Structure 1
Amino acid sequence: MLARLLEDEYGLDDIEIGMRTTFNRDLELESIDLVTLAGLLQERYGDRVNFAEFLAGMDFDEIIELTVGRLVEYVVTSLKAGEAS
């Protein structure tokens, strides 16, 4: 999804993305880009993954330092919780 966002929105398809990659510092995504990402997550996973709720539980510094790995962990945990119910 991140590759799709970066390629579609910015024409960047050669960026290496790893678990420690930060959205702000490494990928230079702005808040509007996170909204786009939220839409992509919603499209892919529906209500099982609520990115807005995930971000709402963070303070500003946590959002600035948000890594791909932390988002991946949240998505995996959300999907597992959805399977259990």
Structure 2
Amino acid sequence: MSVDTTAPVTGGQVTEDTVLAEISGMLRVLLDEYGLDDVEITMDTRFHEDLELESIDLVSLSADLKERYGDEVNFAEFIAGFELEEIIAMTVGQLVDHVVVSLREAARG
């Protein structure tokens, strides 16, 4: 299934599967730099342990999220409440859930 990452996302269009596909695409671009673009990305995939992403990669992902979803999804605000151990253990699913909730809340206005 191909996801149009140029079309605006509205609250009614937001599904876990759609957001997972979009975030997986963003991550594949990052991972391609390390030759790891064929890694399976699921809701349980951990950014540090499974994808071996470093903090600079999370900064890049944050920029990608802002570009795609606008100010409705604030990655820095999302992880600000986490302890270091929680950031290290963070899963793709946690981010997907955050994006879905943020976009749905923004749609309700």
TM over 0.5: yes
1:9-56: per-residue Cα shift (whole Å, max 9, x none)? 323221111110000000000101000000000110110100000010
| Aligned counterpart for 2:50 among listed residues 20, 26, 34 | 26
Q: Residue 39 of structure 1 corresponds to which residue in structure 2?
A: 63
> What runs of 5+ residues in structure 2 fail to find an aligned partner?
1-25
Structure 1 vs Structure 2: percent identity of aligned residues?
62
Q: Residue 66 of structure 1 corresponds to which residue in structure 2?
A: 90
CA distance in 1, matches of 2:38, 2:31: 9
Q: Give the RMSD, CA atoms, in angstroms.
A: 0.9
Give every structure 1 segment of 4 or more consecutive aligned residues whose post-TM-superposition deviation is greater than 3 Å.
none
Please state how far the C-alpha of 1:6 moved relative to its aligned partner: 1.4
The TM-score with structure 2 as length reference comes to 0.74
The TM-score with structure 1 as length reference comes to 0.94
Which structure shows the bigger proportion of residues in helix conformation?
1
Q: Tell me, yes or no, if structure 1 residue 77 matches structure 2 residue 101.
A: yes
Q: Residue 5 of structure 1 corresponds to which residue in structure 2?
A: 30
CA distance in 2, matches of 1:83, 1:42: 16
The residue type paired with residue 68 of structure 2 is R
Report the number of matched residues: 84
| Aligned counterpart for 2:76 among listed residues 39, 52, 65 | 52
